[in-house]
Structure 1
Amino acid sequence: MAHENYSGMKGPGIFLAQFLAARSPFDALGRIARWAASHGYEGIQVPSGDERCIDLEKAATSQTYCDELKGQCEAAGVTITELSTHLQGQLVAVPAGGDALFDSIAPAHVHGDAEARTRWATRQLELTAKASRRLGLSKLATFSGGLLWPFFYPFPQQPEALVDEAFTELARRWRPILDVCDAEGVDLCFEIHPTEDLHDGVTFERFLDKVDGHPRAQILYDPSHFLLQQMDYTGFIDCYHERIGMFHVKDAEFRPSPRSGVYGGYQRWVDRPGRFRSLGDGQVDFRSIFSKLTQYGFDGWAVLEWECCIKDSEQGAAEGARFIRDHMISPATTTFDDFAGDDQASDERNREILGLN
């Protein structure tokens, strides 16, 4: 259902996680799919852990059920772009001291049992990989979790062996999941994100080395998280475009302050120097991003992830589809100066041009 004018990138899509609610039309997949289509979206990214959208156990084992899900969405006017396991992925690797907080996003039967919680999260990832295959999807979104995040600032100086051991353990937990994804033909796209051990290019490279360059270890590219870290988010595409499998279109801004910086001072989002904004209201240079991704042949979905501390979500969603559509680029099929010369000249002709005959 990708826009017919584009042979590369597909869209616009929308991530449903921030819109699901206890009221209609946000309380069931069919209704929220129709709502998304009414705003001009052609795809929906579905959180796999929300029973209002999907029965994950059933989707992992029943092709009939997955065909019904796809049909329900297509009847509403959208297609499923990818499944998300952000919350489950976070629980694969919970930092020391984080049990009480992270139990709040885990099912009650694993509360207070870190090992059971990790096993549950791992199985959730494996089920989602199987469900993705049955749904005809080739990408899966996730977080890495963060064993090291409490130690991200080097004071007192953490031993280098501590960092290496954390990445070794992270790889030990994720390698079997990556292998299941490989068996199912699904790329596992880690959203590079503060609070996760994979929060920039250096940490992704370190993890990639620990999993022996696993071909299914890919990136969910979201420039908002790089802007808030004051990184070169367009240069990131140059460095890692071969590993970028998914794209969250999310805006952000960083307003220099004499009182607070990139760490935010434990303030509410609206008061932080760096904060997420609705598309077009922040500072992210999306024209350069869409150009770079098109240049490198990105053929995945451009998916709105709405997070804004000022604007209402309904307005953000309505504006977002138009914003994405206006930024999408139809890849060039010819070179603008093809008419000006002949690149099929013979060796003899080339030597003549160079004055070598």
Structure 2
Amino acid sequence: MKTLKGPGIFLSQFIGPQAPFNTLEGLAQWAAALGYNALQIPCNQPAIFDLSQAAASQTYCDEVAGMLAEHGLVISELSTHLEGQLVAVHPAHDVAFDNFAPPAVRGNSARRTQWATQRVRDAAAASQKLGLRAHATFSGSLAWPYVYPWPPHNPQLLSEAFAELARRWRPILDCFDEHGVDLCYEIHPGEDLHDGVTFERFLAAVNDHPRASILFDPSHLHLQHIDYAQFIDIYHARIKAFHVKDAEYLPNGRSGVYGGYQRWIDRAGRFRSPGDGQIDFKTIFSKLAQYDYGGWAVLEWECCLKDAATGAREGAEFIRQHIIPVADRAFDDFAAQQSDDALVRAQLGLAQGGER
């Protein structure tokens, strides 16, 4: 059995223009001082981490890893959430997502998709050079505008949406396989892979690709009223990354799951810092230990009430307290007895010849 690793922290919500949050070394010093052991690094901030250079240069990767090691840190995973989103964008979302891409490809969906695909492939090469085993991303969405449709579902439309999603991702999955890295899709509303059923549909479309994996974030399942503990029971073999993020759902008479276009603080379902919401992390960490999850537990701070500095400071200790050092032997080993066939049959009251 394996003890999962942690605590790690996802840097996206903390990168900013002021020191120490404007350089990777500054972020490393800050995170290490808070007690973190690993960083999950986004690939959309060249001033923090240059993905193009990392994909091409082992020397650059060694320098990054060496600098982090000086602060007692490693990389848990790289993240291409924004780039993965751009692999598949429905035209209804073109304008909103264009800013995730460089100016040269904005306004041209085909070129934007090509650019995003190459960036995710670069992350596979960079991950291998860094010695990483998993990578975090989004699936993108072609079918999401039809998630609760009127007129009713068009089966052919949804079949083609997932077939196209598979056509775009299958070569990328093959690339990750060549580099020995699992590609972990965060199961997330707004993405075509937003629950177990949609993940299964995608998995079937890519012929159960061995690198098609899951980034497990219970907050997104809880707000959809999905049993996130049973989700682990069902999909544990595919869970290769883990975001520690809390959430709460507070039923009321005015709005529900879809949020009513309100601010996060006013929604029935909202994200909270770990320990402040309704997620049963004791059960989650227990199940991950039971199923031999050997990856990282990574804080993703998104809270509508608590400030980021407090959430980051508390998050490291919260994760550390929940990690279960797995046993190296059964608790009742002391009472075990050595037996052979004759003793076992005698204990059952059976004669050697099979008769009583």
Q: TM-score, normalised by structure 2?
A: 0.97
Query: Which of 260, 265, 274 is equivalent to 1:270?
Result: 265
Give the aligned partner of residue 3 of structure 1: none
The one-letter amino acid paired with 2:38 is G
Off by >4 Å, runs of 4+ in structure 1: none
The Cα of 1:106 is off from its aligned counterpart by 1.3
| 1:169-216 superposed Cα distances (whole Å, 9 cap, x missing partner) | 000000010011011111100000000000001100000000000000
The structural deviation recorded for 1:7 is: 5.0
Name the SS of the counterpart of 1:105 in structure 2: coil
Task: Please say if residues 34 and 77 of structure 1, whose CA atoms lie closer than 8 Å, have aligned partners that are also in contact.
Answer: no
1:352 matched residue in structure 2 = 346
Name the CA distance, whole Å, in 1 between partners of 2:308 and 2:180. 34
Aligned counterpart in structure 1 of residue 178 of structure 2, from 179, 183, 186: 183
Which residue of the other structure, out of 55, 67, 72, is the alignment partner of 1:72?
Answer: 67
Are residues 1:160 and 2:155 paired? yes
Of 131, 137, 145, which residue of structure 1 is paired with 2:140?
Answer: 145
Query: Does residue 1:96 correspond to 2:91, yes or no?
Result: yes
Contact 2:176 2:183 in 1 (8 A): yes
Tell me, what secondary structure is at the counterpart of 2:78? strand
Whole-Å separation in 2 of the counterparts to 1:355 and 1:256: 60
Partner residue of 2:202? 207
Q: State the 1:325 CA deviation.
A: 0.2
Find the counterpart in structure 2 of residue 116 from structure 1: 111
- Please give the alpha-carbon distance, in whole angstroms, between the structure 2 residues aligned to 1:356 and 1:77: 61
For 1:154 and 1:56, the matched residues in 2 are separated by: 38
Per-residue deviation, residues 66-104 of structure 1 (Å, max 9, x unmatched): 100111111122111110000000000112311110102
CA contact (8 A) 1:251 1:276 kept: yes
> Which amino acid is 1:138 matched to?
R
Counterpart for residue 39 of structure 2: 44
- Partner Cα distance (1:315, 1:154) in 2: 40
Aligned: 1:303 with 2:328: no
Q: Distance in 2 between matches of 1:334 and 1:137?
A: 29
Give the one of 120, 123, 126 matched to 1:125. Answer: 120
- Separation in 1, partners of 2:197, 2:212: 15
Whole-angstrom CA distance in 1 between matches of 2:172 and 2:48: 23
Q: Is the Cα–Cα contact under 8 Å of residues 2 and 289 in structure 2 kept in the other structure?
A: no
TM-score, normalised with respect to structure 1 = 0.97
Kindly provide the amino acid, as one letter, of the partner of residue 58 in structure 1. Answer: Q
In 2, distance between residues paired with 1:313 and 1:351?
64
**Aligned with residue 314 of structure 1, among 297, 300, 309:** 309
Q: Is the 8 A contact 2:188 2:220 kept in 1?
A: yes
What SS does structure 1 have at the residue aligned with 2:91? Answer: coil
Distance 1:145 1:7 in 2: 32
Unaligned runs of 5+ in 1: 1-5
Match of 2:29 among 34, 45, 55: 34
Q: Deviations 1:26-75 (Å, cap 9, x if unpaired)?
A: 00000001100000000000001211221111111111111001111111
Query: Partner of 2:6: helix, strand, or coil?
Result: strand
Q: Which residue of 2 aligns with 1:251?
A: 246
Q: Work out the CA distance in 1 between the residues paired with 2:331 and 2:130.
A: 40
Of stretches 321-330 and 158-167 in structure 1, the one that deviates more from structure 2 is 158-167
- RMSD in angstroms over aligned alpha carbons? 1.0
* Contact preservation (8 Å) 1:129, 1:181: yes
How far the C-alpha of 1:154 sits from its partner, in A, is: 3.6
Is structure 2 residue 2 aligned with structure 1 residue 10? no
SS in 2 for 1:189: strand
Partner of 2:354: none
Distance, in Å, in 1 between the alignment partners of 2:88 and 2:336 is 58
Q: Bigger CA drift: 127-136 or 332-341? A: 332-341
Greater mean alpha carbon deviation, residues 154-163 or residues 258-267: 154-163
Q: CA deviation at 1:155?
A: 2.5
Report the alpha carbon displacement of residue 254 of structure 1 after superposing the two structures with TM. 0.4
Query: 1: distance between equivalents of 2:91 and 2:231?
Result: 30
Q: Identity over aligned residues, as a percent? A: 59
State the one-letter code of the partner of 1:57.
S
